[in-house]
């Protein structure tokens, strides 16, 4: 199996490179600077040269607040870039793996009542911010295509490297000794190592369509932060606040839990979020 990874400088892309390299896989990794997926000619050229069996797209516009004013920029990567990859894969019978987000759903309290175990893959999408809309637009491009595709939705993505909630909490806690975190938004983290491992298992089963990959259990951002400090043994004061007290440019969902039943029925076990955090902390020490 020959792989091409896009967005290899992001936290998920780095995890894929590490994972596949450890298996001595035939992998070509391109950073967003080396391959701009919004450039259709560049996409075609690289895919022609590499001739992969699978393209793993980790390139994404992830600046949630900036997307509110830079909507075209978000769409160019999260929709048009995906379309460019689809077109290149279609001409060469290549499988495309793409990653999306819980932000394609509304995250409303009403949905919490309807989906107490989390959003299933076929739940109605209804993004509440422009980032979520741009990611949903990329999903639609896949859904209407004729190629072989696998779409993995994740939530609260965290890895040992890159920018994410775990690293941010540890940094802010160390710098200031106190952090304020919202306690009325809940979900479950997706750890990059777990996402990569489970996506690889789905690939080996030659599955396609949409799958949700995140941890088992539900937690608030504030409780997650508390667990991070406890696991690290870092003395930090946690100030629990409401969403109304924490102003952001883009609206955030209050309910981000993804249902994993579809994945579980395929023989994959959801990772407990506490256990995932412990493993992540070990990896952070060695990275």
Q: Which residues are catalytic?
A: 131
Q: Which residues pair with 57 in a beta bridge?
A: 6, 98
Q: At what angle do helices 165-176 and 273-286 cross, to 10 degrees?
A: 70
Structure tokens at 151: 């779409």
Tokens of 184: 């009325």
Alpha helix positions (H), the chain: 11-22, 40-50, 71-75, 82-90, 109-114, 130-143, 165-176, 192-204, 221-232, 261-265, 273-286
Q: Which of 254, 270, 251 is nearest to 133 (CA)?
A: 251
Structure tokens at 209: 């369509």
């Amino acid at each position: 199996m020959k792989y091409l990874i896009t967005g290899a400088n992001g936290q998920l892309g780095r995890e894929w490179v590490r994972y596949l390299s450890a298996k001595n896989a035939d992998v070509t990794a391109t950073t967003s600077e080396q391959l701009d997926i919004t450039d259709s000619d560049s996409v075609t050229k690289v895919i022609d040269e590499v001739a992969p069996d699978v393209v793993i797209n980790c390139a994404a516009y992830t600046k949630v607040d900036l997307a509110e004013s830079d909507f075209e920029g978000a769409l160019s990567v999260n929709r048009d870039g995906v379309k460019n990859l689809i077109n290149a894969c279609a001409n060469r019978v290549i499988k495309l793996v793409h990653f999306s987000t819980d932000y394609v759903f509304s995250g409303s309290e009403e949905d919490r009542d309807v989906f107490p175990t989390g959003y299933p893959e076929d739940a109605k999408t209804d993004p509440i911010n422009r980032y979520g809309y741009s990611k949903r637009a990329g999903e639609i491009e896949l859904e209407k295509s004729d190629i072989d595709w696998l779409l993995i939705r994740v939530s609260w993505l965290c890895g040992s490297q890159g920018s994410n909630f775990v690293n941010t909490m540890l940094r802010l806690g160390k710098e200031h000794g106190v952090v304020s975190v919202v306690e009325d938004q809940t979900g479950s983290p997706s750890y990059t190592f777990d996402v990569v491992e489970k996506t690889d298992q789905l690939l080996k089963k030659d599955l396609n369509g949409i799958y949700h990959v995140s941890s088992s259990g539900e937690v608030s951002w504030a409780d997650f932060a508390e667990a991070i400090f406890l696991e690290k043994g870092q003395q930090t004061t946690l100030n629990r606040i409401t969403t109304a007290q924490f102003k952001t440019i883009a609206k955030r969902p209050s309910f981000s839990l993804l249902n994993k039943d579809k994945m579980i029925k395929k023989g994959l076990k959801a990772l407990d979020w506490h256990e995932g955090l412990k493993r992540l902390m070990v990896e952070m020490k060695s990275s």
